[in-house]
Structure 1
């Protein structure tokens, strides 16, 4: 099954490029590159679910945007130079796929007008671009497309 996701990067550091990492290792590209002087950035993507609900406690995720091992899957947002910008910032923001259960997958598969959405902080306490694993992570919620 394909899942539609919407990531809202809240108030990212002004003038810094952010983009979704598609692929992994040395074979990746950064897509949907954006920057703002104020306001939020929106990223839209699709991932697949796989796995066997009789064997797997939680769904497995796949597709070019998914990083990491089962039970630890995440999505990267590339920042600054990693997003193709000449910048003093060379970072990634890790957005966990945590909290997505088989029950949520069932809800989404029953209604194609639904998607998963999360909001994450774009700026760290010191004013620099937020990086590393999102903390605190408020999770994913089911919303209408």
Structure 2
């Protein structure tokens, strides 16, 4: 298997273990990230950011709101379908074919996005969090 496919699979496995398995609260996400080599986190108040020493895998955690895994750009064209299959294992069992998509996980709705601009970002975000700041 080419190195890019292995790295891509690692990003999806990391997303599954760090984000999906700890959703909807993401309470154990930082602990789960340690098994992927992310041991140091920067606390930004509402979010925690971490990265492996070689910068090959990153995580952003906003408890109860968002969890994202980032990697450098990947050549693996199956990454989106791998991401969709991981989401399906934790939701209705239907793998999304396109992103962004709204899916219920752990009884709560999330928007899932695979952003390939400037690298890879596998993201799950609560829909109401995108407009919460201007409702106060």
TM-score under structure 1 length normalisation? 0.28
Q: Which has the higher contact order (CA 8 A, sep 6+)?
A: 1
More strand by share: 1
**Bigger radius of gyration, 1 or 2?**
1
More helix by share: 2
